[in-house]
Amino acid sequence: MTRRRFIRISGAAAGLGLALGAGFARPGRTSPLFHEWRGVALGADASLRIYHPDAAEAGRLITDALSEVHRLERVFSLYDEASALSRLNREGELADPPQELVELLATSARYARATGGAFDPTVQPLWALYAKHFGMADADPNGPSPVDVRGAVAKCGYQRVTVDAGKVAFGLPGMALTLNGIAQGYITDRVAELLRARGVTHTLVDIGETRALDAHPVGRPWSIGIKDPRAEGRLLATLAVDNQAVATSGGYGTEFDAAGRFNHIFDPATGLCANRYLSVSVVAPTATCADALSTAFSVMPIDRASSALTDAGAMRAYFVLPDGHVVDRSA
């Protein structure tokens, strides 16, 4: 199974959630000022494209940015058994938690309230249930039993997590957190803030989510395409982004079964998988906000999600319906 995130800003990467529009200058071609790194962060492909006249300084900036990414991975990763999040999930509580974990859990609770609980980082028991079920050779293609789903839902609930500077603790046995619906946005913002503090402008940061620092160097907004999950290389819409962030969520990012009926985005209220839309894209001031809302909106009716845009401080949302039609809503 692949990671939940499938967002990129490279038009050459087919089948992904976002594509950078034409006109992006690449090193050695139309501009010597863009310096690029590609790799993996939090288990997902990531990239940095820095607009800077000094190649040596650009290299130092990329090194510093990657150090920040790796530092934060040691806080939020579900794959690193020594991470703060992994230790919390194993033990049910964590004394003296990292400040970033406290901050992101408080932010998660704010977006949970803004979306009426549709965004909830405590859905990890549902992930564990579906992954275990479909990992069996004789798995029922109809998914886990309703009894098992209800049992996992009973272990969810962001209100049951106590968070303060001294300790994070779960209110029930068997609870567990996943920050995969917001951590990549948070890390993207932290890298963007690091670069901004060092004087970087006219740059795109993609650490699982995409954030633009200012406009494109030629003076126009960046062009970000919403890709069609059903057709490789086809764009359904193009967004103009200037000093904003974009995130996309969709069930096809990780599917548990070959038929694609069950995926990694869960409705915390029912324990069922999100199948309302092919994908949801959100434009917001920060990647943290866009990340959380694109996850939450995947399980929300359009009208309810639209009303949450203003509450959460986002600008626009794009809902790709099963027939490929795009519904655009603004705050």
Q: What structural domains does the chain harbor? A: 18-78+181-251+276-330 (3.10.520.10)
More confident residue, 41 or 9: 41
Q: Model-level pTM?
A: 0.88
Name the DSSP class of 263.
B
Query: What is the per-residue pLDDT for 21?
Result: 35
Length of the chain: 331
Q: Judge whether 323 and 290 are in contact, CB under 8 Å.
A: no
Per residue in 151-181, pLDDT (tens digit) is 999 999 999 999 999 999 999 999 999 999 9
Cα end-to-end distance, the chain, whole Å: 35
Neighbouring residues of 220: CB distance < 8 A, sequence distance ≥ 6: 240
DSSP secondary structure string for all residues of 50-108: EE-S-HHHHHHHHHHHHHHHHHHHHHH-SS-TTSHHHHHHHHSEEES--HHHHHHHHHH
User: What integer pLDDT is reported at residue 31 of this predicted model?
Assistant: 52
Please give the residue that has the higher pLDDT: either 66 or 24.
Answer: 66
Ranges 29-38, 110-119, 187-196, 200-209: which has the least confidence: 29-38
Confidence bin at 214 (pLDDT 50/70/90): very high
Q: Measure the CA angle with vertex 153, ends 175 and 128; round to 5°.
A: 60
What residues have CB less than 8 Å from 330, skipping those under 6 apart?
Answer: 309, 315, 316
Alpha-carbon dihedral angle through residues 66, 70, 160, 175, given to the nearest 10 degrees: 140
